[in-house]
Structure 1
Amino acid sequence: MPQPANKTRIAAVKVAAYRVPLTRPWVSAAHAITHHEHILVDITLNNGLTGTGWTSTMGTAGTAVEALATTYLAPMLVGRDVHEHEALWSLLWKRSHQPGAGGIGALAVAGFDLAMWDLRGKVAGLPVRKLIGGAADSLEVYASAVNLHLSEAALVDETRAFLDAGNRHFKIKVGRADLDDDLSRVAAVRNVIGKRPLMLDANQRWRPGEALARTSAFARFNPVWMEEPMAADDPENHARLAAVSPVPVALGETLSTRHEFWRYVASGAVHYLQPNALKVGGISEWLKLAHLGACANLNIAPHGALEASAIVAAAIPGCYPVENIDGGSFADQGIVLNPLKIEDGRITLTDEPGTGVAFDRAALAPHRIEPGTEVPLVDPAPFFARD
């Protein structure tokens, strides 16, 4: 006698990449970014229920992520039970790991991971944040912007607008060629926000000696942290800096694997650990990294990826406020039907089963990209204002 089909087995997987323009460019010490690329993963079960995951890049390698996900990873899931989530994550990671740890592979795995969490939440009738143990119904955010190119006056206006919107935590970019220019900009922002928390982000701008000199110069402004002062794949020099720096060191957005994070944690090279839920392979791995940091009594500060970070931050007691990058949310890009509600520096979490993210497929459709699409390199220099 034939057995009934397992309703939680995966019947089909679809992957598609989209290149969405930002309302205004992001310019840091490292990059000029005009688009985000979002790779959506739809996983459908035998019972017809579909879960959607996503992963994103800042305008680079989206088609490569889609190709890896479609050609090599998606077929591995068909016929498997979605409740085998950890086993499936490991299976996907191992196949992605062979060409190189992290990077494109981790981004691809993240899309599948979020889709499986979305499905498990829908099957259970619970938001993912509660499925993983989160108790908070709202979270504080910090106002962040990729704004190194702005004139000092424009930077002050932007910061004042964030303050007027009810934000109480702020992050700005540093790393201009002239130290006095950087110091003047930080002083101007400090003057606007008063004693409220201020974070600085150098986007891997400096070499070791310069990093110590620059970070020490900013100490007078009492920043919460200096983020990515040097190349993110240099734990040894970060350990030396962290041992003597008058400002705490934050990093993690560029790291992908637990082994990379462990080298930083074990060597005392970081004070604020910033895993990005998409760059590490999804919610499953983010939680492990947060617990790794907690074992070392470090501060956990989720990096970017607002919609995913809001889910995981609720599950980590004492987690630092979630980063809200101006122009970076799905709501800012106009690609979701149910944007997260952010008022007075707090984000209200959804009670919708699953991740709670519903993409506007009609809005995304014009931005569909195919493998082989040529994407020009953007030079950051023309964006910089001259004060």
Structure 2
Amino acid sequence: MPTPTIEHVEVFCHRVPISAPVSTSFGIMTSRPGVFVRLTDSDGAFGWGEIFANWPAAGAEHRARLLIEDISDLVLGQRPEAPGDLWHHLDRATRIRALQCGEWGPFAHVLAGLDTAMHDMDARRAGLALWRHLAADGDAPGPARVPAYASGIHVADGTRTLPRERARGHRAFKVKIGFDASEPALLETLCGMLEPGESLMTDANQAWTLDEALAFGEATAGLPLRWLEEPIAADSPDEHWQRLSRAIPHPLAAGENIAGAADFAAATASGTLAVIQPDVAKWGGVTGCLIAGRAAVAAGHSYCPHFLGGGIGLLASAHLLAAVGGPGALEMDVNPNPLRDAFPGADPVPVEGAVALSDAPGLGIEALPPEIARYRTLALSRSRSQAGT
């Protein structure tokens, strides 16, 4: 039988106002956006993906229009033999378009969401959960359980949030830092609250210069931090990262702001990062992150998928981690987000620091939850007949 063609592209934007902003060292989120994409082929099979849209504030609606008005003509009518074929095709076909407007990031985000949708469709067609479909033998034992950690915690809120998340079942916690000079003392307090078997990680969100990062490392040298994430800008010279890895006693982590197979390969080979953190909604989708994750684990690093968005991307991250394996952990944002929690399986209760994955086909998502319809800001679609292909 001929391979089915992609016949329909749909994208749905949502935005949830929040009473407690989510703070990072570089800015504050005053709403939680979500961009979800659905692909349907000529056999009626479908798949769901998620497109990164946390930044800038108007990014969600922009990416939806970018998909429908600038990229869908390259999607509709395609006959991918394997789910990753579409991503490789689009990566080549959109290069000049992205170059022309200087929007490498938004193009990569859209392609990532499309790739996840293709993998969801492929696994659904096979009748397998995505993590099983990605596993090398295809019949790994289940149900899968993956280690997880509580994330999105402002360091100043740690003394209140850590006990709450421990009660929920978490045994690892990541706090956001990079705000002021009081943080070494706050971290010492939080480390003193840890119980046996628990760990604390930190994320500076690219807050510091090299000298500031070195000073932080010196001030916290005696603390048992599991890792220090993005202490300097992700695109800092490699010699800066090398110097940090030699001088700071804490393992370094990064990856959410790395894009491109060559850059991930270089980051893995350099030896400066102990933890590699690609984001399935920002670059590569399932195809790219699977390659980066497996390469990281093979090189002796931890693969810990970064994610701070809606339910589809979180589920895709969990399935990727289950398929890749290794000593990684799933990032679970603990801030309220209906665009995550309304999805079946996307708000799991950790048991001793690990969460279980569903064995439902694909990502286990049939449709967008009706509870999030009131947050919708935009819905666009395009079919093959409209595209004239």
Partner in structure 1 of residue 231 of structure 2: 229
Q: Distance in 2 between matches of 1:282 and 1:32?
A: 26
Name the CA shift for 1:144/1:175 in 2 (closer, same or farther; >3 Å): same
Is 2:4–2:42's contact at 8 Å kept on the other side of the alignment? yes
Q: Deviations over 1:250-292 (max 9, x none)?
A: 1111112222223323333312111111111201100111123
TM-score by length of 2: 0.85
Q: Secondary structure at the match of 2:225?
A: coil
Aligned length in residues: 360
Letter in 1 for 2:332: N
Q: Distance in 2 between matches of 1:139 and 1:266?
A: 26
Q: Secondary structure at the match of 1:205?
A: coil
Partner in structure 2 of residue 66 of structure 1: 64
Letter in 1 for 2:50: W
Q: Distance in 1 between matches of 2:342 and 2:81?
A: 29
TM-score by length of 1: 0.86
Is 2:84–2:115's contact at 8 Å kept on the other side of the alignment? no
Stretch deviating more after TM superposition (191-200 or 102-111): 191-200
Q: 1:13 aligns with which of 9, 22, 26?
A: 9
Is 2:169–2:349's contact at 8 Å kept on the other side of the alignment? no
Partner in structure 2 of residue 87 of structure 1: 85
Partner in structure 1 of residue 180 of structure 2: 177
Any gaps of 5 or more consecutive residues in structure 2?
A: 308-312, 380-389
Q: Secondary structure at the match of 1:41?
A: strand
Per-residue deviation at 1:300? 1.4
Letter in 1 for 2:321: A
Is 2:345–2:357's contact at 8 Å kept on the other side of the alignment? no
Partner in structure 2 of residue 188 of structure 1: 189
Partner in structure 1 of residue 75 of structure 2: 77
Name the CA shift for 1:230/1:315 in 2 (closer, same or farther; >3 Å): same
Partner in structure 2 of residue 31 of structure 1: 27
Is 1:235–1:263's contact at 8 Å kept on the other side of the alignment? no
Name the CA shift for 1:88/1:75 in 2 (closer, same or farther; >3 Å): same
Any gaps of 5 or more consecutive residues in structure 1?
A: 372-387
Q: 1:116 aligns with which of 115, 118, 133?
A: 118
Q: 1:259 aligns with which of 259, 262, 268?
A: 262
Letter in 2 for 1:217: A
Partner in structure 2 of residue 138 of structure 1: 145
Q: Distance in 1 between matches of 2:270 and 2:45?
A: 45
Stretch deviating more after TM superposition (354-363 or 24-33): 354-363
Q: Distance in 2 between matches of 1:268 and 1:156?
A: 34
Name the CA shift for 1:235/1:280 in 2 (closer, same or farther; >3 Å): farther
Q: Distance in 2 between matches of 1:84 and 1:131?
A: 12
Per-residue deviation at 1:67? 1.7
Is 1:147–1:173's contact at 8 Å kept on the other side of the alignment? yes
Q: Secondary structure at the match of 2:94?
A: helix
Stretch deviating more after TM superposition (218-227 or 9-18): 9-18
Q: Distance in 1 between matches of 2:345 and 2:135?
A: 23
Per-residue deviation at 1:82? 4.3
Stretch deviating more after TM superposition (225-234 or 297-306): 297-306
Q: Distance in 2 between matches of 1:77 and 1:209?
A: 46
Q: Distance in 2 between matches of 1:187 and 1:199?
A: 12
Partner in structure 2 of residue 125 of structure 1: 127
Q: Secondary structure at the match of 1:145?
A: strand
Per-residue deviation at 1:8? 2.7
Name the CA shift for 1:324/1:144 in 2 (closer, same or farther; >3 Å): same
